[in-house]
Amino acid sequence: MTSGLWELVLQGVWVTIQLLVLSALLATAVSFVAGVARTHRLWIVRFLAGLYTEVFRGTSALVMIFWVFFVLPPAFGWQLVPLWAGTLALGLTYGAYGAEIVRGALSAVDPAQQEGGIALSFTPWQRMRLILLPQAVPEMIPPFSNLLIELLKGTALVSIMGMGDLAFSGNLVRLALQESAEIYTYVLLVYFVIAFLLTRVMRGLEKRLKAGVGKAPAPRTEKAAAQPAGAGGGLR
Amino acid sequence: MNWDWNAVADFMPHFWDGLLVTLEILVLGSLISFVLGLVWALLSRLPSRWVRWPVGAVTEFVRNTPLLVQLFFLFYVLPEWGLTFSALTTGVIGIGLHYSTYTMQVYRAGIEAVPAGQWEAATALNLPRLRTWTAVILPQAVRRVVPALGNYVISMLKDTPLLMAITVLEMLGEARLFSQQNFHFTEPLTVIGVAFVVISYLASLLLRTLERRLVP
């Protein structure tokens, strides 16, 4: 490969990483808001949050991307820069899966903790912030780690819309060189390396957060088998 | 926002064609992933590390890389190796292979969840190895994992639109073709978006029923 083509691939990696970071931030924000809203005492708040998760988990991420790129502009009269459109579609879709993780982890906290908060006359917000979340967040890390890998794989979808991410630059290089096997192997390897680094980072994060509430991480063997993968969990 | 019901009516025949292809992909892809996942799971239990490590490495690699790029790989590389399949076949193989690395872990968890007493009983009864697997372990393991497998079928449904990228005309492919020919983007895309939500909701209801009957 010539240096120009390598530069193209590096630009693709950079776009993929930007998209990954932005949509991961949006997805995290959305999943905490929607997940916490599902434990709200007003039924309308719970219902709206549930509706959001069911709709966005029910549809395909690629269909959502098409929708944001092609339906939003004529329908509402504004067009997003491709990077933000991709971020919006991926963040909202994967945020819906994340909301289920947050809700599950919150409901897995021992009810006595909640009752203790009530007995101490904490406000609902104080209970959430000081009692529930510090215990629930470390438990969320392994499923969130799986979801992050799913999100990384999801970022490849924007290449269909012509955004210059890693998969897209792989296609361009293939057109230039006609050596499909070699090029796609490189692209897959880069994705794999990113995924590997992400799992390492998340494992370190889990360790730190668990130390904060006086726990050790679960033994790492077969962790993926023990719990259904984030996005792979499907509608349940 | 301009919504044109006529465009919806015009799109519906294409929608049914696309739905049929989507379901075809889903059924064939699920079958491949169920069978291949079991093969991976059994291979990764073999005593020889020369089998276990390569299987572990390959499945880990396939699971952690995007299905879209894998589809491109199969679509453009297999013909170079002299294997020419239709786009649909390539797509079904790709999606089946990708999901087999997920179902593998499901099977593995299921096999590990069979109580040790069952193994000991099989040994005590002097059952041959093959018979232990087919008559004792697998029937119990598979029964346990049906709900988890069903979840992956629902996830696979939501990944079928990726086959559009390798020219398969499933629901999204039909919608895109129709949009480009008639300049109606809103209606076809919204119709298939709703269709996905409805199908996956119905599938999850079905799954819940199945779960109640199968899992004690």
Which pLDDT score is estimated for A148? Answer: 95
Q: What is the SS3 assignment for B151-216?
A: HHHHHHHHHHHHHHHHCCCCHHHHHHHHHHHHCCCHHHHHHHHHHHHHHHHHHHHHHHHHHHHHCC
Of A106-110, A179-183, B19-23, B130-134, which gets the smallest average pLDDT?
A: A179-183
Residues 146-165 of B with CB under 8 A from A: 147-148, 150-155, 157-162, 164-165
Question: Quick one: average pLDDT of B30-46?
Answer: 94
- The shortest CB-CB distance from B65 to any of A55, A71, A188 is to A188
Question: Quick one: average pLDDT of A167-183?
Answer: 87
CB contact under 8 A, B65 and A75: no
Query: Which CATH number is associated with domain B19-170?
Result: 1.10.3720.10
CB contact under 8 A, A160 and B159: no
Q: Where are the domains of chain A?
A: 3-233
Residues 176-205 of B with CB under 8 A from A: 176, 179, 185-186, 189-190, 192-193, 196-198, 200-201, 203-204
b (16+ CB within 10 A) / e for B21-45 = bbeebbebbbebbbebbbebbbbbe
Which ipTM score applies to this complex?
0.86
Task: Say which residues have a Cβ less than 8 Å from residue B105's Cβ, sequence separation at least 6.
Answer: A224, A225, A229, B41
- Tell me the chain B residues in contact with residue A70 when contact means C-beta distances shorter than 8 Å: 179, 185-186, 189
Q: Measured between CA atoms, how close is A98 to chain B, in angstroms?
A: 15
Q: Is the pLDDT of residue A4 over 60?
A: yes
CB contact under 8 A, A71 and B185: yes
CB contact under 8 A, A231 and B155: yes
The token duo for B119 is: 């193994």
CB contact under 8 A, A62 and B162: yes
Of A73, A63, A68, A98, nearest to A86 by C-alpha is A68
Which pLDDT score is estimated for A226? Answer: 40
How much is the mean pLDDT over chain A? 86
Question: Can you tell me the distance from the alpha carbon of A160 to that of B70, in angstroms, rounded to the nearest whole number?
Answer: 14
Residues 24-63 of B with CB under 8 A from A: 61
Neighbour tally for A203: CB within 10 Å: 15
- Tell me the chain B residues in contact with residue A220 when contact means C-beta distances shorter than 8 Å: none
- Tell me the chain A residues in contact with residue B61 when contact means C-beta distances shorter than 8 Å: 188, 192
- A74, burial (CB in 10 Å: exposed 0-12, middle 13-18, buried 19+): middle
- The shortest CB-CB distance from A153 to any of B67, B80, B165 is to B67
- The shortest CB-CB distance from A71 to any of B147, B190, B200 is to B190
Coil vs helix vs strand at B48: coil
Q: Measured between CA atoms, how close is B157 to chain A, in angstroms?
A: 8
A97 or A179: whose pLDDT is higher? Answer: A97
Task: Say which residues have a Cβ less than 8 Å from residue A112's Cβ, sequence separation at least 6.
Answer: none
Of B44, B77, B72, B48, nearest to B60 by C-alpha is B44
- Measured over all CA atoms, what is the biggest interatomic distance in chain A, rounded to whole angstroms? 70
- The string of pLDDT tens digits covering residues B96-120 is 999 999 999 999 999 999 999 999 9
Question: Quick one: average pLDDT of B193-212?
Answer: 89
Which pLDDT score is estimated for A2? Answer: 72
- The string of pLDDT tens digits covering residues A67-89 is 888 888 777 777 778 889 999 99
Query: Among all residues of chain A, which has the CA nearest to that of B162?
Result: A62
Residues 105-144 of B with CB under 8 A from A: 105-106, 108-109, 112
**Are B209 and B26 contacting, i.e. CB atoms less than 8 angstroms apart?**
no
- Tell me the chain A residues in contact with residue B207 when contact means C-beta distances shorter than 8 Å: 236
Question: Can you tell me the distance from the alpha carbon of A186 to that of A129, in angstroms, rounded to the nearest whole number?
Answer: 44
The verdict on pTM exceeding 0.95 is no
Neighbour tally for A230: CB within 10 Å: 21
Question: Can you tell me the distance from the alpha carbon of B91 to that of A185, in angstroms, rounded to the nearest whole number?
Answer: 18
CATH superfamily entry for domain A3-233: MetI-like (1.10.3720.10)
Q: Measured between CA atoms, how close is A14 to chain B, in angstroms?
A: 17
**Are B15 and B171 contacting, i.e. CB atoms less than 8 angstroms apart?**
yes
Which pLDDT score is estimated for B5? Answer: 86
CB contact under 8 A, B172 and A62: yes
Query: Among all residues of chain A, which has the CA nearest to that of B110?
Result: A225
CB contact under 8 A, A70 and B65: no
CB contact under 8 A, B65 and A159: no
- The shortest CB-CB distance from A192 to any of B64, B150, B172 is to B64
Straight-line distance from the first to the last Cα atom of chain A, in angstroms, rounded to the nearest whole number: 47
Task: Say which residues have a Cβ less than 8 Å from residue A154's Cβ, sequence separation at least 6.
Answer: A23, A61, A90, A93, A94, A231, B66
Q: Is the pLDDT of residue A175 over 90?
A: no
b (16+ CB within 10 A) / e for B93-120 = bbbbbbbbbbbbbbbbbbbeebeeeeee
Which of B1, B8, B72 to substitute to test the interface with A, most A CBs within 10 Å? B72
> In this structure, is the dihedral angle defined by the CA atoms of residues B8, B13, B18 and B23, taken in order, positive or negative?
positive
> In this structure, is the dihedral angle defined by the CA atoms of residues A19, A20, A22 and A27, taken in order, positive or negative?
positive
- Tell me the chain A residues in contact with residue B80 when contact means C-beta distances shorter than 8 Å: 180-181
Question: Can you tell me the distance from the alpha carbon of B66 to that of A187, in angstroms, rounded to the nearest whole number?
Answer: 10
Which of A90, A150, A153 to substitute to test the interface with B, most B CBs within 10 Å? A153
Q: Is the pLDDT of residue A126 over 60?
A: yes
Question: Can you tell me the distance from the alpha carbon of A204 to that of A212, in angstroms, rounded to the nearest whole number?
Answer: 13
